[in-house]
Structure formats: structure tokens, C-alpha cells
Amino acid sequence: MDEQAANLVFSLVEAELLDTLRSRKGTGLRSDLKAIVDKTSSVLGDIDTTKYPRLSMNIDSIDDYLDGPSMPSFTQLEHAFCVNNGITVPTTCLSVTKGVSKDPSVLSAHLTLPFVRAVTQHDLLLSRMRSGLSRAVEEYDNIIEDYKLNVALNPDSSEAWHHLGQAHSDLADELLLVPASEILSNRYDIAILQRSAVSCAVQAKQLLPSLVTSNLTSADSHGTSNDGDGDGDDGNGDDSLQKRIQKLHIRIYSFTACLLYRIALFALLSTLTKHLYSSSLDVDMVTRRIAVFETIYSLANQGKPDLAKQTLQTVLQTRSSNKLLSSFYKPDFEAPGKHYLYLEKYLGLYIETLVATSDIEGVQIILRKLKRCSGMFFDSSEMQLRIKSAETSTLNKMVHDLNCPRFVIDNLGKEHIVLQKALDEGSVVEEYSVTRHCRLNRTQFNCARDFARDNIAFCISFREHIDNIITTAEKENIESRKAVADDAATPETKDQVDTPLAVIKRTRQVLNQYLDTATRAMALFNVLLDKKKKHFDDAGTLSKLNDNLADLYILILSTYGQERLSILLHPHQSDDTAELASMCSRVMALVSSHLSPKDTGGLFWQHVLFDEANNESSQQYKLLDPLLEFNVNKLLDSVRDARALQPNPFVLNKPRSDVAQVLAQATTQPTTATSVEGELYSPQQPPAN
């Protein structure tokens, strides 16, 4: 196939090619059309610009226009007459000549091939980039050169200028995908591309108003000058004028129709563009982008780290199944592409919110994702140090949130912990023991963990027992109220706030909170032990983990420990034996530190009513703290005194023989004295009935 044949074949499909490309439906060219384009390009090759001085001058003028130091003045370059389909271009726009198209030696295919080739390659590259298959910046150079040649051949085409600006904008967006360090070092090149895109958009905008401001004279002189001659009226008759108007309407319609698919013609750039005229890339200048930051920072600064974290989880897509951070969130108002310049800033703030919310799971997710990033978007080594430090800080905050026992410092500057409380003439005396930094080994950690596991299981069974009591009591209380309502002579009795049922409900609530804290302490204890294995070579991190483990160890023994259990101690130093032995001898009830004496008394009383009445052993539920048991016995006395004044809702109008028998025994039998720290405390005896 020679050049003339290739030019003829291309002219046959040129109209369909342009319609397909202008529709930009993302489907690409059909295989037959693409084969014709490839064959024609291989036969004709590129146009030799050296043979056409006017074309070379146009290319140089375009380069000077795009490389201007500031926003261009459109009267700087040589003005020449340009026309597109009979529509005059305003004199204020960049004007380069279209003399090449008038040269008969130039094949018509050469005038269209650069545009077809550039649009085809541009769409293909964008499609591959969206699929993550390609990120080759070099391919944009060829696309921009083809678009620039198309502008030089058709300098009065708004569409040509638009495509050239879009290519510059897409290349700038593509450069924003590289690591943030490279973005900051190449921000001058990015700004130049964005500024060139703005210049092209302004030039395209200057060409479009000509559709409205064109007059019939210019259209007639350049597009319909021969129509009047065919009618024999020299173009001055009414019929000739009507034909000119009709043809002008057709041309305007055909020209605007190709632009309808591009309604947002001037929104072709990202929101960064208008802020980059000074050749600098400043995040604070980007109004729409900074709006996202302002929302997140305002939430964080207002003491709402949870809301800030939720927003950042959407931004970073941390909950997605993708193990990488490459699917970085891009707002809809941005141009195509992903601006990873901001990824490091988002990550830094997200790490801070994770620490503030004690989200160790989120820290571990980000840490796993960062290990797979390989420094593609930022300095991964620096970010990994930040996230590891955040992990340690989060663990420390989680331990602190558990309200571990507070330490005191003696006269020698040694830290101690309050482990025991005793009664001394009605006041509580605290005993100090165990230094914080006593050396603990794995065996002691395992024993403390066994303590917590046993007590959690004990509390769960205790809570189930309380739930059964509440269910039975509420059922009987409802039936009792119905009986009272049916008996008009009996006044209605309302449950007060301090009734046994209300007390036991509060007990269940506190017990649930106790179990939640114990479960969190156990989970955190296991996490710290696991982290200690992984950081055995990091002295700084290991020291912090040991401090946290010591805090949790004391918390578990002092709060969840029971006297009936024992610990086999293997201290590293003999000096620690006495302190650890004293700590292990701590006697405390499971929920005594969380319940008020009134609530614990009510709990004990209801337990006596419903357990001993059914001949069930209550020793497993007996509260072991001597101070608590003294308060329970004291409260039982007041309950017995008030029994005659306020009916028991559990036996009201529906007496049960076993409960009545227990109440009778409780009012006649004396209460056993309780031993507290070697002394006997006899609660006040109940008055005789």
C-alpha cells in the first residue's frame, strides 16, 4: 500500500473514527478501525515539520506560550487569521497560522492522524492505570507531542487545545503517584505541568465564545462565499442570506454537538491547579483538599478522636480486604489519579487517633499493611518506627486505662503498692508492699494468668446465679402486684430504690463491668507477653513492656486474687521473696472493691434467702474480705430491724414456707462474729421481736 492508497482508505473511515473518539465511552476503537489506523500510520509515518516552516513556527509558538513565566498575555505572539468551519477566532486568543492545511502536498490523513493516535493511546493508558497495570510516565511524552502537533495543525480548534491541556493535567496527576519524597523534590515540574494545563484551558475557553459572537459576514466570507454565486444573485439576495443562515446553524450545531459529551469542559483540572501558578506545591493552599483535613483535625482537637478515626478509616480504607495501602481514598471532586502526597500526613494523624482511642487492633492492621508497602509511597522505615512507637504507647495507655493500683514512694525513694486494707478502730489502714520493679519470670506470669482465669469463670457462674435470682424475683413480684391490685382493701406497695431487687440488679451491673475489665486485662496481659517475645532485642521497648507487665501482674493479684489459691514463686533474688509472698497473701473479695457496703449487704442477704432456703451450699459464693463481711453482717442487722416495717416483695401475699422459715431463723439466731486481722468484730445484735 502506497501513501495515496493509505490516505484514501483513511479518508473513508475518518468520520467514523472521529465520532467514536469524541464519544469517549471508554470502549476504545473497534479492531478493524484500529487496524486501519495502525496500517496508515506505518505507511505515512509522521509529518516532516522541517518541510513546512509555518508548522515549525506554530510548534515553537505553542512551546513559548506554554513555557511562559506567568499566566500568558494573549497578545504577545504573532497574530494571524485563523478560521474553523467559517467561525472567526477572537483577536485576543493565541493566534498561529493554519497555512499547512492549505498546502496541497500535505495529505489529509496527516492532519487527523496525530489526534486519532494521541486520543487512542491516551484512553488506553488511562484504562491501564485505573486497573493498576501501568504507571509509565514516559508514555505521556509521546501523547503530549501528538496533541501538540494536532494543535499546530489546527490552532483554532478548541477541542485540540482541550486535549493538550488534559494530557498535561493527567501527567501532573500521574507524577503525584510517586513517593512523597520525590513529589516534594519534583514539585516544580508538577507545577509547570499544571500551569501548562491552565494555559491550554484558557486558550480553549477563548475559542469557544466565538460560537456566539460570530457574525454572518465572517461566516459567509470564509465558509459560504461561493453559495451566492451558484444562485446567480452575488450573495446579496434574500434566498442566499437564508441559505447562509441555515448553513451557519448547521455548522454551529455540529461543532457544539461534539462538545456536549464534555459538559464540564473547563473542570478538566484537579483542584490543585489554580493554586500552583507560583510553581510551588503547598497543601495549605488547596481549599477543597484542606477541607478534609480541617474536618479531621477539628474532630481530633475537639476531643473527638473516635470520630476522627472513623473518618480516617474511610480515607485510608483500612478495613478493606486489600492488604496494601495502594487503594488510597480519592474524593470525587479531584481529577483522575491518586494524590499520594497527602498519604503520609493522613497516616501520621491516623496513628495519633489510634493511640488516643487505645485501638491496638487498628495499630496492628496498619503495621501489617506498612510492611507490604516497601516504601512505594513514603519512607517506610521512618513510618514503621512511628507505628511501632505508637504500638508501645497504645499498650501503655491501655494498661493505664485499667486503673492499676497506684504506687507510693517511701522515704528511701522506693515505689510501693497498696496491697492490703485492714480495720483499726473503725478506720481503714493501708499496708504497703511489693516494689514495682521486682523481677518477675514467666512462671509468675502464668500463675497470675491462672488466677484471673479462675476468677473470671467464678464470676461468670456467680452472674448466672444472680440472673436466675432476678428472673424468679421479678416473676414473683409481678404476681404479687396483681394480687395487691385485686384486693381493694390492701394498699398498693411500690418498690423503692433500695429494695433487694434493685440492689441485686445494681450488683449484676457492677459484676458485668468487673468481668469486662477482667477480660480486657487478661487479653492485654496475653498481648504484652506475646510482644515481649518479639522485642527481646529492643532494650527500650522491652523495658516499657516489662513495666506494663508488672502493673498488670499486681493488678491481677490484688484485684482478682483469692486466698484459697497459691503461687509457686521462683524469684531471681532472695530479697524479692518476702515482697512477693506478701503480695500473694492478699485477701480480697471478687467484687468488694467495686460495690458499696449497701449493695454488698443486699447481695449477701438475697444470697442467704435464695440459696440456704433451697438447702444449697453457699460457701462458694461467700465473700472473703473480712472488712466486707463485717459490713454485710452489720447491714443484716438493719435489714432485720426494718423487716417488720416494710414487707418483703418476694413473699408479699404469696408466702413460701422455706423463705418464711429462713427469715424466722435469721431473726432468732445470733450472728457469728467475724475475725478481721486477728481481732474479733461483733456486729450489733438485732433487737428482740
Q: What pLDDT does 485 receive? A: 55
Helix 380-401 vs helix 343-356: crossing angle, to nearest 10: 20
The per-residue pLDDT of the chain, averaged, comes to 57
For the residues 510-534, what does the mean pLDDT come to? 78
Q: What pLDDT does 514 receive? A: 73
Q: What is the DSSP string of 632-665?
A: HHHHHHHHHHHHTTS--TTTTTS--HHHHHHHHH
Q: What pLDDT does 25 receive? A: 52
Lowest mean pLDDT among 41-55, 337-351, 404-418, 455-469: 404-418
Rounded to the nearest angstrom, the gap between the alpha carbon of residue 609 and the centroid of all alpha carbons in its chain is 53
Return the higher-pLDDT residue of 362 and 41: 362
Q: At a CB cut-off of 8 Å and minimum separation 6, what does 461 contact?
A: none
Q: Residue 604 above 60 pLDDT?
A: no
The pairing of strands 83-84 and 87-88 is antiparallel
Q: What pLDDT does 227 receive? A: 40
Co-location of 33 and 179 in the same domain: yes
Co-location of 161 and 300 in the same domain: no
Co-location of 269 and 304 in the same domain: no
Q: What pLDDT does 382 receive? A: 75
Q: Residue 488 above 70 pLDDT?
A: no
Taking the alpha carbons of 268, 271, 276, 281 in that order, is the dihedral positive or negative? negative
Q: What pLDDT does 464 receive? A: 77
Helix 343-356 vs helix 287-301: crossing angle, to nearest 10: 10
293 CB burial (10 A radius; 0-12, 13-18, 19+): middle
Q: What percent of the chain has pLDDT over 90?
A: 0
Co-location of 186 and 287 in the same domain: no
Co-location of 307 and 165 in the same domain: no
With respect to residue 656, please indicate whether it lies within any of the assigned structural domains: no
Q: Residue 432 above 60 pLDDT?
A: no
Q: At a CB cut-off of 8 Å and minimum separation 6, what does 20 contact?
A: 29, 30, 33
Co-location of 292 and 337 in the same domain: yes
> For the chain, what is the domain count?
2
Q: What percent of the chain has pLDDT over 70?
A: 31
Q: Residue 587 above 60 pLDDT?
A: no
From residue 333, alpha-carbon distances to 285, 429, 544 in Å are 16, 67, 45
Rounded to the nearest angstrom, the gap between the alpha carbon of residue 469 and the centroid of all alpha carbons in its chain is 45
Residue in the structure block whose three cell numbers are 487527523: 112
What is the spatial distance between Cα 512 and Cα 518, in angstroms, rounded to a whole number? Answer: 10
Q: What pLDDT does 5 receive? A: 66
Q: Residue 384 above 60 pLDDT?
A: yes
From residue 551, alpha-carbon distances to 497, 547, 572 in Å are 38, 6, 18
For residues 168 and 118, is the Cβ–Cβ distance under 8 A? no
For residues 273 and 197, is the Cβ–Cβ distance under 8 A? yes
With respect to residue 662, please indicate whether it lies within any of the assigned structural domains: no
CB atoms within 10 A of CB 187: 18
With respect to residue 513, please indicate whether it lies within any of the assigned structural domains: no
What is the spatial distance between Cα 387 and Cα 359, in angstroms, rounded to a whole number? Answer: 12
Lowest mean pLDDT among 98-107, 199-208, 380-389, 579-588: 579-588
Which amino acid is it at 455?
Answer: N
Model confidence at 571, pLDDT cuts 50, 70, 90, reads very low
For the residues 280-309, what does the mean pLDDT come to? 51
What is the spatial distance between Cα 643 and Cα 664, in angstroms, rounded to a whole number? Answer: 11
Co-location of 182 and 291 in the same domain: no
Return the higher-pLDDT residue of 35 and 332: 35
For the residues 281-300, what does the mean pLDDT come to? 44
With respect to residue 465, please indicate whether it lies within any of the assigned structural domains: no
pLDDT (tens digit, 9 = 90+) per residue, 70-83?
443 333 322 222 22
What is the spatial distance between Cα 546 and Cα 542, in angstroms, rounded to a whole number? Answer: 6
Model confidence at 254, pLDDT cuts 50, 70, 90, reads very low
With respect to residue 147, please indicate whether it lies within any of the assigned structural domains: yes
Q: What pLDDT does 297 receive? A: 52
Final residue before a domain boundary, out of 341, 366, 401: 401
With respect to residue 57, please indicate whether it lies within any of the assigned structural domains: yes
Pick from 112, 158, 342, 343: which is nearest to 268 by CA?
Answer: 158
Q: Residue 419 above 80 pLDDT?
A: no
For the residues 293-310, what does the mean pLDDT come to? 61
Q: What would the grid cell of residue 198 be?
A: 491552565
Pick from 575, 576, 579, 571: which is nearest to 441 by CA?
Answer: 571
Q: What pLDDT does 260 receive? A: 36
Model confidence at 247, pLDDT cuts 50, 70, 90, reads low
Q: Which of 530-534, 560-564, 591-595, 627-631 has the highest mean pLDDT?
A: 530-534
Taking the alpha carbons of 634, 635, 636, 637 in that order, is the dihedral positive or negative? positive
What is the spatial distance between Cα 345 and Cα 386, in angstroms, rounded to a whole number? Answer: 13
From residue 537, alpha-carbon distances to 167, 370, 534, 540, 541 in Å are 52, 21, 8, 9, 9
Final residue before a domain boundary, out of 241, 273, 305: 273
Q: What pLDDT does 385 receive? A: 80
With respect to residue 666, please indicate whether it lies within any of the assigned structural domains: no
Pick from 497, 493, 470: which is nearest to 481 by CA?
Answer: 493
Model confidence at 322, pLDDT cuts 50, 70, 90, reads low
Q: Residue 93 above 60 pLDDT?
A: no
Final residue before a domain boundary, out of 384, 401, 418: 401
For the residues 373-388, what does the mean pLDDT come to? 67
Co-location of 268 and 290 in the same domain: no
Return the higher-pLDDT residue of 93 and 155: 155
Co-location of 170 and 308 in the same domain: no
Bridge partners of 407?
Answer: 417
Co-location of 263 and 310 in the same domain: no
From residue 85, alpha-carbon distances to 96, 211, 246 in Å are 16, 11, 14
pLDDT (tens digit, 9 = 90+) per residue, 590-603?
333 334 444 443 33
For residues 216 and 246, is the Cβ–Cβ distance under 8 A? no
Co-location of 33 and 58 in the same domain: yes
What is the spatial distance between Cα 277 and Cα 194, in angstroms, rounded to a whole number? Answer: 8
347 CB burial (10 A radius; 0-12, 13-18, 19+): buried
Model confidence at 617, pLDDT cuts 50, 70, 90, reads very low
Alpha-carbon Rg of the chain, whole angstroms?
43
Q: What pLDDT does 557 receive? A: 63
Lowest mean pLDDT among 156-165, 186-195, 494-503, 548-557: 494-503
Q: Residue 87 above 60 pLDDT?
A: no
Q: Residue 221 above 60 pLDDT?
A: no
Helix 216-223 vs helix 238-257: crossing angle, to nearest 10: 90
Co-location of 24 and 163 in the same domain: yes
From residue 235, alpha-carbon distances to 189, 219, 542, 585 in Å are 54, 12, 96, 117
Q: Residue 363 above 80 pLDDT?
A: yes
Which amino acid is it at 80?
Answer: A
From residue 437, alpha-carbon distances to 441, 472, 553 in Å are 12, 49, 11
For residue 133, the enclosing domain spans: 3-208+259-273
Lowest mean pLDDT among 208-212, 258-262, 434-438: 258-262
For residues 283 and 345, is the Cβ–Cβ distance under 8 A? yes
For the residues 442-465, what does the mean pLDDT come to? 72
With respect to residue 347, please indicate whether it lies within any of the assigned structural domains: yes
